[in-house]
A and B are shown apart, each in its own frame.
Chain A
Amino acid sequence: MEDVYQELARIVGPAYVSNQPEERFIYSRDPGTMEPREPDFVVLPATTDEVQKIVLLANRKKVPLVPMGGGLVLSGLSRPLKGGIVLDLKRMNRILEVNEKSRYVLVEAGTSQGMLQAYLKKNHPTLKHSVPDSPPMATIGGNVLIHGSGHLSHAAGFHSEMLNGLEAVLPTGEVVKIGSCSISPYWFGRAPLPDLAGLFLGWFGTTGVVTKVAIKLYPNRPWQDVGVFVTEDPELVPEVFYQAAGVQVAEDITAWMAPKPDWARGFQHVNINYAADTPEELIWKRNLIRASLKKLIDQKTGGFLPLPPPMKKNFLEAPQTTLAQFADVRKGGGFEYVGGIMPIELFPNAYRAGIEIAARQGTTYSTGARIIGPGHCMMFFFAYPFNRADEADVERARRALEETNGLVLDLGGIPWKAEAPAQRQILGRMDPGTLNLMDRIRAMLDPQGIMNPGNWEVR
């Protein structure tokens, strides 16, 4: 393997490759519950050309290659399940173009959420991208490719739906462009061409290495507000989602439910964030949202919390920092969740079952949801924090996650960014024709089977 190391060093420079135990240790795990898997090498390329050379090397040597963004997926997708090379893309973090008029940005895939957010704030303050509630070091490319969601997902859908185009290095080393950029100098969208972006979205790096992405930007309106609607009957929540989302003036609609603090237990909170160009427009939007929920308000079965302006500031943050506090509630920094993508009408069942699972597995929990589009579906999350230094605690969370993955599938949903065991559960229920198509696509693109092996293993 020494020759692989030497070649990697020649490609990226010796400062950006390692086969030392400390780097291999760090890159063997993420903050979730999945068992560590050590890579043989860690490499940080700076250009598409370097990525291409590394892919060709991996092909020649038949060495597994695992692309990685921020490494924050929590479900262990960038652990090298079969060893090999972890391809850390964080050096590929250049913001290449902002098109103000057509509202998109072209970035290298390793650009972090925080970098883009700060760049736009400084240079293009009238524009913003949809920020996920992950730490700011999560990458733009990674989040798009796992079908992430964020603070504009009610308005504009999954982050993968905000993708205008991409550049990728195929498992066999060819560089391809997907979307309008394959024909035009503009990265304005994926239509009207055959949409090949699906060859890379949701595949967890098993079909190539995405090196550039263009994503849509949206107006960054100066006036912002949030309403926190509270109910104590989970059966009402789909109606809250349906009505509030149906008005289509909010940017983000999320729900949160937790047993702590004590006053939160048993209540369902729906945060409705909206923004405007003027105070008058903001009030108009507030009134539309409020009118949509009038029936529940008049029945006194739900209502908005009376929050003075200073208390709204936390709810207006993007990303939400309160999640980071919850992530360490057990101390020890362990945190993982199942995000079930499912129809909104499944909310009551998911909510009740999540609480039952946490009680049965003896772990604490937090649950919540983010509405995708105007109520087309939701990402319902069941989060379980744990102390990484306490193996029994980790095991409790792991069991809870496994049971929750099964629950999501039983309900009719699909676990999001599923861990390898959950992928097997998904594949086990998949339509045989779909399964076969996935297998054929993967075999065609990656004949050597080098790309992130162990994930989406159909055979």
Chain B
Amino acid sequence: MNDLKFSREICERCETFDCLTRCQYLKMDFATAREERGRLLQGEKARVLEECVTCYACEEYCSHGNHPFYHIVERQEQLGIWPVPKPVTKQQILMMAPKGKISPKKVQSPVVNMCYFPMFTGSIRGKLFEGASTIVGSDFFCNVMWLHFGKNSVIRERLPEVIANIWEHYLSDSGVEELVCFHDECYGTYTRLAPAFGIKVPFKPVHIFDYLNKRLDELKDRIQPLGQKVAYQRSCSNRLVPETQPWVDEIFKKIGAERVDRKYDRENALCCGTIFRAQQKDDLADDVQKRNLDDMAATGAKFCVFSCPACLFTLGESVFKRGIMPILLNDLCQIALGEGMKGG
């Protein structure tokens, strides 16, 4: 049930080892990568299983779409490897468990799934989200984060229930088929991870950037171009859905923002660092965050747009201390629509 669609044959035939050699953190040469691949396929303990920082990037780097990252996590769990200390992992699993606090209600399009970020519900406002309904809470939490913890089993156990909660208690009864995913991670879950794990998704997920892009077209007469330099902080889960990247460029263009050229953007994006701290790698987190912030600051950006609220929590304060305003993309759009604070 819910078997991972990873092909051993495809992996065996691969001669590029991009998943390992392009890793920004393991620094693995070609020969070592070949050995590691062998161990992984044999189900043996391997350096990559112990040292993987779970940044998701290899999902994007694999040119065969063969889900190397899911496979690594699967192997970690099978071999009893804990990327994060056991008590921390166990407690996080309990903390994020579905609480069964579902209040079925009629919803109307657009329905925005806020994932487990109730504090951002206030972001769903103004012309951009006119008439929107929201759903939020532990019962709608996409659970993809367990990839960071070597716990695919938790995703398998909880994701079908989450999907059923959304569909049966909200969308289906209301005749709504689309779900706007406020959290990039949810979109990756429903469009990539769920199919890879053989979990059916009865609704059509819509990425928040796709939604914003279309709404900006509808509201183009209201847009007051920002004329600001904006840095973009890509999230780990966006590696699951790289096709969403052009939407960021389109949105920036539409609101008159300049997406600054950064060393650490697009495929070369750096992790926000939270998961490194969960793995007790503070030195790595310090180093990565500093490089990231230095890179951002060097561009002269006024804003830093985050695609993930969790990254915003982690880096927001540090970004602000560098004189850059941390912000979500929808809030930046609202500024351009004259509905929020003006960039100064």
Query: In the complex, what residues of B have CB within 8 A of residue A309's CB?
Result: 313-314, 316-318
Give A307's nearest chain B residue, CB to CB.
Answer: B277
Contact with B along A286-321 (1 / 0, CB 8 A): 110010000001001111111011110000000000
Query: In the complex, what residues of B have CB within 8 A of residue A311's CB?
Result: 313
CB < 8 Å A-B pair total: 65
A383 vs chain B, min Cβ distance (A):
21
A104 vs chain B, min Cβ distance (A):
35
Tell yes or no: B274 within 8 A of A by CB: yes
Query: In the complex, what residues of B have CB within 8 A of residue A286's CB?
Result: 282
Q: Are A232's CB and B87's CB within 8 A? A: yes
- On whether A262 and B282 interact (CB within 8 A), knowing A300-B82, A306-B275, A309-B317, the answer reads no
Task: Identify whether the interface residues of B are mostly helix, strand, loop, or mixed.
Answer: helix
Query: In the complex, what residues of A have CB within 8 A of residue B192's CB?
Result: none
Give A309's nearest chain B residue, CB to CB.
Answer: B317
Contact with B280, one of A262, A263, A297, A310 (Cβ below 8 angstroms): A297
Query: In the complex, what residues of A have CB within 8 A of residue B278's CB?
Result: 303, 305-306
Tell yes or no: B286 within 8 A of A by CB: yes
Contact with B87, one of A262, A301, A306 (Cβ below 8 angstroms): A301
In chain A, positions 215-242 with a C-beta closer than 8 Å to chain B are 230-232
Query: In the complex, what residues of B have CB within 8 A of residue A302's CB?
Result: 85, 87
Q: Are B94's CB and A310's CB within 8 A? A: no
Tell yes or no: B47 within 8 A of A by CB: no
In chain B, positions 86-108 with a C-beta closer than 8 Å to chain A are 86-88, 90-91, 94-95, 97
Most central of A263, A290, A305, A308 by chain B CB within 10 Å: A308
Give A265's nearest chain B residue, CB to CB.
Answer: B94
Q: Are A308's CB and B282's CB within 8 A? A: no
Contact with A290, one of B87, B282, B313 (Cβ below 8 angstroms): B282
Tell yes or no: A283 within 8 A of B by CB: yes
Query: In the complex, what residues of B have CB within 8 A of residue A283's CB?
Result: 286
Query: In the complex, what residues of B have CB within 8 A of residue A300's CB?
Result: 82, 85-86
- On whether A267 and B91 interact (CB within 8 A), knowing A308-B314, A310-B317, the answer reads yes
Q: Are A232's CB and B280's CB within 8 A? A: no
- In Å, the complex CA distance between A302 and B95 comes to 17
- In Å, the complex CA distance between A375 and B277 comes to 27
Give B277's nearest chain A residue, CB to CB.
Answer: A306
Tell yes or no: B325 within 8 A of A by CB: no
Chain A interface size, under 10 / 10 to 19 / 20 to 34 / 35 or more = 20 to 34
Most central of A232, A302, A305, A306 by chain B CB within 10 Å: A306
Contact with A along B262-278 (1 / 0, CB 8 A): 00000000000011011
Tell yes or no: B84 within 8 A of A by CB: yes
- In Å, the complex CA distance between A424 and B85 comes to 46
Give B285's nearest chain A residue, CB to CB.
Answer: A306
A306 vs chain B, min Cβ distance (A):
4
Q: Are B85's CB and A303's CB within 8 A? A: yes
Contact with A along B98-123 (1 / 0, CB 8 A): 00000000000000000000000000
- In Å, the complex CA distance between A154 and B88 comes to 25
- In Å, the complex CA distance between A286 and B91 comes to 23
Q: Are B91's CB and A290's CB within 8 A? A: no
- In Å, the complex CA distance between A374 and B85 comes to 26
In chain A, positions 393-451 with a C-beta closer than 8 Å to chain B are none
- In Å, the complex CA distance between A254 and B283 comes to 25
- In Å, the complex CA distance between A50 and B142 comes to 68
Q: Are B282's CB and A287's CB within 8 A? A: yes
Contact with A along B64-97 (1 / 0, CB 8 A): 0000000000000000001011111011001101
B96 vs chain A, min Cβ distance (A):
8
Give A296's nearest chain B residue, CB to CB.
Answer: B85
Q: Are A263's CB and B277's CB within 8 A? A: no
- In Å, the complex CA distance between A283 and B275 comes to 18
In chain A, positions 238-293 with a C-beta closer than 8 Å to chain B are 261-264, 267, 283, 286-287, 290
- In Å, the complex CA distance between A52 and B207 comes to 76
A166 vs chain B, min Cβ distance (A):
43
Q: Are A305's CB and B88's CB within 8 A? A: yes
- On whether A230 and B282 interact (CB within 8 A), knowing A263-B94, A308-B313, the answer reads no
Query: In the complex, what residues of B have CB within 8 A of residue A263's CB?
Result: 91, 94-95, 97
B52 vs chain A, min Cβ distance (A):
15
Query: In the complex, what residues of A have CB within 8 A of residue B310's CB?
Result: 308
Please name 19 further chain A to chain B contacts, defined as beta carbons within 8 Å, in addition to the given A286-B282, A297-B85, A305-B278, sorted by A numbering.
A232-B87, A262-B97, A263-B91, A263-B97, A267-B87, A287-B282, A290-B282, A297-B280, A300-B82, A301-B87, A303-B85, A303-B87, A303-B88, A304-B280, A305-B88, A306-B278, A309-B313, A309-B318, A310-B316
| 22 CB < 8 A contacts A-B | A230-B87, A230-B88, A230-B91, A232-B86, A261-B95, A262-B94, A263-B95, A267-B90, A267-B91, A283-B286, A286-B282, A287-B282, A297-B85, A300-B86, A301-B85, A301-B87, A303-B280, A304-B280, A305-B91, A305-B278, A306-B275, A309-B316
Chain A contact residues, CB within 8 Å of chain B: 230-232, 261-264, 267, 283, 286-287, 290, 297, 300-306, 308-311
Pairs A-B, 8 closest by C-beta atoms = A303-B85, A306-B278, A263-B94, A308-B313, A263-B95, A306-B277, A232-B87, A303-B88
